[in-house]
Chains A and B, each alone.
Chain A
Amino acid sequence: MGVVHGDLMTLNIGPQHPSTHGVLRLKVKTDGEIISEVEPIIGYLHRCFEKHCENVSYEQVIPYTDRCDYIAAMNNNFGYAVTVEELMEIKVPERVEYIRVIVAELNRIASHLLALGAYGLDVGAFTPFLYMFRDRERILDLFETLCGARLLYNYIWVGGVSHDLPPGFIDAVYSFLDYFEPKIEEYNELLTYNKIFIERTGDVGVMPPEVAVSYGVTGPNLRGSGVKWDIRKNEPYSIYDKFDFDIPVGAGKMGTVGDCWDRYYVRMVEMKESVKITRQALKGIPTGDVHQALPKKIRPPQGSIYKRTESPRGDLAYYIVSDGSPIPYRLKMRSPAFTALSVLGEISQGWMMSDVLVILGSLDIVLGEIDR
């Protein structure tokens, strides 16, 4: 590529655009098809989550966490509940822990299905998207029998879960897992190993591990760069230390370590691991109560806590400061998608128009969580 540059054209991708995954605006400076600068502009979905939290009681925060990462609401509930419980130093009944793990892993599968399907759409493949949505629908149906909601569950509460498992739920999950596992191979055949797909994603948008760590990128994006880091393994919370599962990392199978294909493939393999965890949890689930006895109004003791959990997008952390009242004094959510988006400007420089959207898709962002 030569050094001669004409005037750069500024192009606004979004806030209304088919593949910005929400209301995101990318201010792009282009030289023809080549991108010289990408600046993500966020905040279109800002709903003052943190300010709201300073005005409602601890229990009332949970529906708000649903609405942050609306693709993986269970995991957000989970993270929040775990954090508050640790702040209050309470232990929940064992059955609750198992139920939480089951729904969180199912939600992880659902979230990854959406991420991968929408990624196929970004690259231009329509059919995989519909296949993945078909299967995601079955998970949503399961959740619907569980708590009546399909997207925003408000299911995992501090000290327990809102309802016990409905009759037949465990069998339904088993039959879903049996149905789902072979489907992963189908996706692989259809999309993952498609030559055009590999051409579009392999070697594109390489994120070296140092850059990823410096930008605070976590979750599948970080693992795609070859860093073996998963909160479920490295800092186990809940009962994740009881399960046997692997952490898939990117290996540069179709190009360089940390390219879009790696990030995509890590999610694909992670679904398999989630299936594994869910199976183990289903096997070991004990009977018992699903509510830990708690006062009507939760009053955590004075203090602060920073607790990380692994959401489908990475380290989801809550920083909660309690002043002993039933209302959080300060609640900060460290959202994984926020950090993942911040790296976009760095790794998409010099790529082409079409690649920017492919790289953006590979980061799997949810704007509800970025803007909060």
Chain B
Amino acid sequence: MTVDQLINWLPFGTDWPVITFLTAVIICALPVFLFIAVYALVAIYGEVKISSFMADKVGPMGQGVGFHAGKWGLLQPVADALKLILKEDIIPAAADKKLFIMAPFVVFIGAFISFAALPFGQNTIIADMNIGIFYILAVGSLSVIGIILAGWSSNNKWSLYGGMRSVAQIVSYEIPAGLSIISIIMLTGTLSMQGINEFQQGTIWGILPNWIIFNNPFSFIAFFIFFISGVAECNRTPFDIPEAESELVAGAFTEYSGMRYAFFFLSEYAEMFVVSGVSVTAFLGGWNSPISGFFNSPGWGVFWFMGKTLSLVFVMIWFRWTFPRLRVDQLMSICWKVFLPFSLLNIFGVGIWILITG
């Protein structure tokens, strides 16, 4: 269901364009918001449990009768969320109040509106823009403004450090990410998310699914560059230097508490989903089934998309609990000295590939 169809379907029609527009926006935004909230709870629970199993412990467990974390600690994320909502909201006296209050929302909005162009299934997309992938890259980097606002307005040296590092990191990693997407666009000839998905239908030589990652060796490399840059943009370990709890306490978020902190948290998880979703769409066939023609109905498309995306989210969690953290200069040198030249080469490579294979 796309927004265009919704607007056409609404009874107000073109007589009251404003009301039509607002209704359509609310109808789309509410489920997305609910989805993010539920997904974040699941992801937090998953992260806690996965990390526990990786570290040879059991994680939250409910035991016996009474008000506890539920079976297998299933209610733990709910309790966490409740705690964050009920916590006192502290604004430091020396903080720049307006910016301080604004920052978490700016960060969240960046992640939130990215969902508009994510193709969950053949028909399940809010707006199939003709510049979908470009749109996601553009609004995805909005969050950097929020983080620097948070870092600056907290009036705390640690926050400032975190904010500055974060900006440097996200802006740098946008470039290899964008360049590896360019090679996709060259291949598919479209910027639309659905267009990219449709390109990936069918099989290669009848065996492999016709996903872009298998299409040519260059896009195989491009996938890794894009995904790792995506991890860096989410500020996840091993690229979590903006938060770096052992160095910067909590980086840009040091002074935040309660609901505002929860928003940063929420947007981090939302951003993980967006990055994974874009990787899946651009490289791993999106809503296409791994076996061509097998359970490839629109309904199953949502399943495939979610399955692939959550697997990538799992990989990110896996990273976090396995790797140490990089240093800020090492992070930059990986970006500028390794990823950037390789993604430029990739573009050439893909160009030549297209020329040869026609």
Instruction: Say if A and B assemble together.
Output: yes
Chain A residues within CB distance 8 Å of chain B? 9, 11, 17-19, 33, 120-127, 130-131, 134, 190-191, 194, 196-197, 199-200, 352-355, 357
List the B side residues contacting A354 at CB < 8 Å: 241, 244, 247, 325, 327-328
Q: Is B249 touching A17 in the complex (CB atoms < 8 A)?
A: yes
List the B side residues contacting A196 at CB < 8 Å: 238, 323-326
User: Which 6 residue pairs of A and B lie closest in terms of their CB atoms, listed nearest first?
Assistant: A124-B325, A130-B55, A125-B324, A19-B246, A123-B324, A124-B324
Of residues 303 through 358 on chain B, the ones whose CB sits less than 8 Å from some CB of chain A are: 320-330
Show 21 A/B contacts (Cβ-Cβ < 8 Å), sorted by A: A19-B247, A124-B238, A124-B244, A124-B246, A125-B322, A127-B54, A130-B56, A131-B55, A131-B56, A191-B324, A194-B323, A196-B326, A197-B324, A200-B325, A352-B328, A352-B329, A354-B247, A354-B325, A354-B327, A357-B246, A357-B247
Q: A131-B56, A134-B56, A354-B241 are in contact. Are A9 and B327 (CB under 8 A)?
A: no
List the B side residues contacting A11 at CB < 8 Å: 157
List the B side residues contacting A355 at CB < 8 Å: 327
In the assembled complex, how far is the CB of residue A99 from the closest CB belonging to chain B, in whole angstroms? 31
Question: Is B237 an interface position by the 8 A CB rule?
Answer: yes
Q: A33-B328, A196-B238, A352-B329 are in contact. Are A127 and B246 (CB under 8 A)?
A: no
- Count of residues in B whose CB is under 8 Å from the partner chain: 27
Of residues 148 through 162 on chain B, the ones whose CB sits less than 8 Å from some CB of chain A are: 157, 161
In the assembled complex, how far is the CB of residue A115 from the closest CB belonging to chain B, in whole angstroms? 15
Q: Is B246 touching A200 in the complex (CB atoms < 8 A)?
A: no
List the A side residues contacting B56 at CB < 8 Å: 130-131, 134
Q: A11-B157, A354-B244 are in contact. Are A126 and B55 (CB under 8 A)?
A: yes
List the A side residues contacting B54 at CB < 8 Å: 127
Question: Total contacts A to B, CB within 8 angstroms?
Answer: 77
Question: What is the bound-complex CA distance between A11 and B56, given in angstroms?
Answer: 37
Question: What is the bound-complex CA distance between A130 and B321, given in angstroms?
Answer: 11
Q: Is A127 touching B240 in the complex (CB atoms < 8 A)?
A: no
In the assembled complex, how far is the CB of residue A26 from the closest CB belonging to chain B, in whole angstroms? 12
List the B side residues contacting A197 at CB < 8 Å: 324
Q: A124-B237, A134-B56, A199-B326 are in contact. Are A18 and B249 (CB under 8 A)?
A: yes
List the A side residues contacting B237 at CB < 8 Å: 124
Q: Is B55 touching A199 in the complex (CB atoms < 8 A)?
A: no
Q: Is A127 touching B55 in the complex (CB atoms < 8 A)?
A: yes
List the A side residues contacting B325 at CB < 8 Å: 123-125, 196, 200, 354
Q: Is A127 touching B322 in the complex (CB atoms < 8 A)?
A: yes
In the assembled complex, how far is the CB of residue A124 from the closest CB belonging to chain B, in whole angstroms? 3
List the B side residues contacting A357 at CB < 8 Å: 246-247
* Closest chain B residue, CB of each to CB of A13: B247
Question: Is B51 an interface position by the 8 A CB rule?
Answer: yes
List the B side residues contacting A9 at CB < 8 Å: 157
In the assembled complex, how far is the CB of residue A362 from the closest CB belonging to chain B, in whole angstroms? 13
Bits for B28-72, please: 1 = Cβ < 8 Å to A, else 0. Answer: 000000000000000000000001001111000000000000000
List the A side residues contacting B321 at CB < 8 Å: 126-127
* Closest chain A residue, CB of each to CB of B321: A127
Which of B54, B247, B320 lies at the interface centre, i.e. has the most chain A CB atoms within 10 A of its CB? B247
Which of B161, B240, B325, B328 lies at the interface centre, i.e. has the most chain A CB atoms within 10 A of its CB? B325
Q: Is A353 touching B247 in the complex (CB atoms < 8 A)?
A: yes
Q: Is B324 touching A120 in the complex (CB atoms < 8 A)?
A: yes
List the B side residues contacting A124 at CB < 8 Å: 237-238, 240, 244, 246, 323-325
Question: What is the bound-complex CA distance between A120 and B237, given in angstroms?
Answer: 13
List the A side residues contacting B80 at CB < 8 Å: none
Question: Is B245 an interface position by the 8 A CB rule?
Answer: yes
List the B side residues contacting A123 at CB < 8 Å: 246, 324-325
A125-B322, A194-B324, A352-B328 known; 13 new pairs, CB 8 Å cut-off, are A9-B157, A124-B238, A125-B324, A126-B51, A126-B321, A127-B51, A127-B55, A127-B321, A130-B55, A130-B57, A131-B56, A196-B326, A200-B324
In the assembled complex, how far is the CB of residue A75 from the closest CB belonging to chain B, in whole angstroms? 27
List the A side residues contacting B244 at CB < 8 Å: 124, 354
List the A side residues contacting B330 at CB < 8 Å: 199-200
